A and B are shown apart, each in its own frame.
Chain A
Amino acid sequence: MRLHVLELIRFSTYAELRAERSRSYLGLIWWVAEPAMMMAAFWLVFAVILKTGGPDYLPFLLIGLTVWQWMKSCITHGGYAIWTNLGLIRQARLPILVFPFVQMLADTIKFLYIFGLLLVILWVAGYPPHAAYIALPIVFAVTLLFAAGAGFLVAAVVPLIPDLRFVIEQVLTVVMFLSGVVFALDQVPSPLREVIALNPVATLLDATRGILMRGDWPNWLALLKVSLISALVCAIGIGCVLRLSPRYPKLAV
C-alpha cells in the first residue's frame, strides 16, 4: 500500500510537470521568464524610480523573490489542489494528502531548477560560493515545512469555502511586503520593525540571503524557533485535512 502511494506521488508529480510544460508554447522557458519579469518590475520601481534599493539590491531582490515565489506556489497550488481535484475525489478512494503534496513537490522541483540558475547569476555578479552553503538544505527544509503547513491549512478549507481564494491571494501579497521580500526591513521604523521580524518568512529569507550574499551562517536559534512553528503549522494543517476529508467527496464540483 505504502509503496503504491509513493509510486502514485512520483508519477503524478512527473505528470504535473510534464503537463505544465506542454500547456504553453514556450513551455519550460516560462519557469524562468515569469519570475524574471516580476523581478524586473520590482527592480524598476524600487531601484530605478524610488532609488531605495541600495548597493546590493539586485541580488537581494533576486533571492527574495525566488524563495518567496516558491513558498507562494506551494501555498496556492498545494492549497487549491483538493478543491481542483474534487471530481476525482468523488470517484475514487485515494489518500487525500497526495493531491496537495504532489503540487508542492512539483513546485519544489521547479524551484530547484530556478535556484540553480540564480546561483550562477550570483557567482557571475561577484557573490562566490562559501562554506555556509552547507546550511542551505536545512534552511530550505524549514522553508518547505512552513510553506507546506500553510498550504495544507488552505487545502483543508478552500474546498468548503472556495470564495476564500480571493482573500488568500491578497493576504499573500500583504505577507510578501511584510516579509522583506522586496525591500529591506531596516527601512521600516523601529517599533514596527521588531514586530515584522517575528514573521517566520522574514527569518527564512534573512538566513538565505545571509548565506548567499555574505557567507554568514544562519542564526540557529531563530531557525530552530521557525522550524518548531513550521512543524506545528504543518501538523495542524494535515490534521485539518484529515479531519475534514470525509466531507470532500460530498461536495459539488
Chain B
Amino acid sequence: MSEPLIELEHVGIAFSAQRRVGSGKFWALEDVSLSLRRGERLGVIGRNGAGKSTLLRVLAGILRPDRGSMRRGAVSCQLLSLALGFTPHLTGRDNAILSGLMIGLRHRDIVARLPAIREFSELGDFFDQPIASYSSGMVMRLGFSVAMQAEPDVLLIDEVLAVGDAEFQEKSGAALRERMRHGHTVVLVSHDEKQVAALCDRLLWIEHGRSVLEGDRDSVFEAYHRELHVAAPLS
C-alpha cells in the first residue's frame, strides 16, 4: 500500500466563541484522525454541526490544527469553491482568470481554458460583460465552470455537487462525477447518502468533532445507521 498523502492524528480546532476580549473557546473539531492515500475517494459523514466542513478546511491547509498533528506530503489540496474571489464589476472573463489564479492555476493555463469555460458555462456573449449584470444562476454556472478547472492532487468537495437549473445540475453533477471516477484523490462531504455511496469507497464518520469510525464504505454505513436507528437504505 502506498504512503498516506495526508495523515491527521487527534487533530483539534478551536474557535473563539465570541468576538470579545477573553471570550471562551469552543472546539469545532475535538479529536479527529484519518489517513488518505493516493486515488482514494473518502466520504465524510455525520450529522449537522459534526465538524465536517471544518475538517475539509484543515485538509485544505486553511486552518492549522490547534492540537494534534497533521502530516502532509508535497501535495496540493484544493477546496472546491464556487465563485472564489469573484468581483461584481469585472467581466466574466476577468473573473474567470482571477478565480483561476486563486485556485492555483498558472495564468497561461487558465487563459488557455477560457474557451472551454465559456462553452461549459453557456454564457455566450455575456462572458465579456460584468458579472454584476448576471443572474445568480449565471454566476453559479461561471463559478462551477472555473472551479472545475482546478487540478489539485487532492480535491476537497463540500456539498456542491450540482448547481443551476435542472439541466445544468445534471451537466455539472455529471462533470464532477466524471472527475472523481478518473483516479483523483477526493474527500467528499455530503448529506446525500446516495451520492456518498455512489462516489466513495471509504468513509469517515465524525460526531461532535470526534472521529467515530473510519473504514470501508459498507461497514461504516452499517454502523452509522445502527446508531441513527434507521434501516440502511443501501441495497
Contact = CB atoms under 8 A, between A and B. Distances in A.
Interface stretch (A18-26, A144-152, A187-195, A222-230): A18-26
Contacts of A250: 13, 15-16, 63
Interface string A224-249: 00000000000000000000001001
Contact of B89 (A4, A22, A246): A22
Interface string B16-54: 100100000000000000000000000000000000000
Interface stretch (A51-59, A84-92, A127-135, A171-179): A84-92
A169 interface: no
B35 to A, nearest CB: 21
Contact of A8 (B64, B87, B102): B102
A88 B15 CA distance: 18
B94 A91 contact: no
Contacts of A93: 60-62
A94 B84 CA distance: 12
B94 A15 contact: yes
A90 B53 CA distance: 11
A92 B98 contact: no
A3 interface: yes
Nearest to A88: B85
Nearest to B28: A250
A58 B97 CA distance: 44
Nearest to A248: B62
B106 interface: yes
Contacts of A23: 89
A11 interface: yes
Given A7-B106, A22-B130, A249-B63, A92 B79 contact: yes
Given A7-B107, A91-B81, A92-B62, A19 B102 contact: no
A92 B107 contact: no
B171 interface: no
B84 A15 contact: no
Nearest to B108: A7
Name the residue in B61, B88, B97, B102 with the highest tally of chain A Cβ atoms < 10 Å from its Cβ: B102
Interface string A64-104: 00000000000000000000000011111110000000000
A93 B130 CA distance: 26
Interface size class of A (residues with CB under 8 A): 20 to 34
Contacts of A91: 62, 79, 81, 84
Contact of B101 (A8, A18, A22): A8
A106 to B, nearest CB: 13
Contacts of B102: 8, 88, 92, 94
A108 interface: no
A88 B86 CA distance: 10
A87 to B, nearest CB: 9
Contacts of B98: 11-12, 15
B154 to A, nearest CB: 12
B113 interface: no
A250 B63 CA distance: 7
Interface in B52-72: 57, 60-64
Closest 5 CB pairs of A and B: A19-B89, A22-B89, A7-B107, A246-B64, A8-B101
Interface of A: 3-4, 7-8, 11-12, 15, 18-19, 22-23, 88-94, 246, 249-252
20 contacts: A4-B101, A4-B104, A7-B101, A8-B102, A11-B97, A11-B98, A11-B101, A15-B94, A18-B90, A19-B90, A23-B89, A91-B81, A92-B60, A92-B85, A92-B103, A93-B61, A249-B57, A250-B13, A250-B15, A250-B63
